[in-house]
Amino acid sequence: MKEDLKDILFSEEVIRERIAQLGVELTEEYSGKPLLIIGVLKGCFMFLADLSRHIDLDCDIRFLTASSYGFSTVSSGKVAFDKEIDWDVEGRDVIIVEDILDSGGTLTALNAFISRHSPASLKTCTLLDKPECRSVPITADYVGFECPNEFVVGYGLDYGEKYRNLPYVAVLKPEIYA
Which residues would be at the binding site for ligand PRP (CB under 6 A)? 40, 42-43, 66-69, 75, 98-107, 158
Which one of the listed residues 50, 99, 102, 129 is annotated catalytic?
Answer: 102
> To the nearest whole angstrom, how small is the minimum distance from the Cβ of residue 143 to ligand PRP?
13
Which lies closer to ligand PRP via its Cβ, residue 43 or residue 119? Answer: 43
> To the nearest whole angstrom, how small is the minimum distance from the Cβ of residue 101 to ligand PRP?
5
> To the nearest whole angstrom, how small is the minimum distance from the Cβ of residue 168 to ligand PRP?
17
What is the enclosing helix (H) or strand (E) of 17? helix 12-30
Contact 69, 99 (CB under 8 A): no
- The amino acid that residue 25 corresponds to is E
Which lies closer to ligand PRP via its Cβ, residue 57 or residue 168? Answer: 168
Assess whether 129 carries a catalytic annotation: no
> To the nearest whole angstrom, how small is the minimum distance from the Cβ of residue 53 to ligand PRP?
20
Q: Give which of 126, 106, 99 is closest to 43, Cα–Cα.
A: 99
Which lies closer to ligand PRP via its Cβ, residue 22 or residue 107? Answer: 107
Q: Give which of 103, 48, 44 is closest to 72, Cα–Cα.
A: 103
Nearest residue to ligand PRP, scored by beta-carbon proximity: 43
Rounded Cα distance between 50 and 157, Å, is 15
User: Percent helix, strand and coil across the chain, each rounded to 5?
Assistant: 25, 30, 40
Q: How far out from the chain centre does Cα 68 lie?
A: 14
Kindly give the interhelix angle for 45-52 and 12-30, rounded to the nearest 10 degrees: 60
Which lies closer to ligand PRP via its Cβ, residue 50 or residue 98? Answer: 98
Active site members: 102
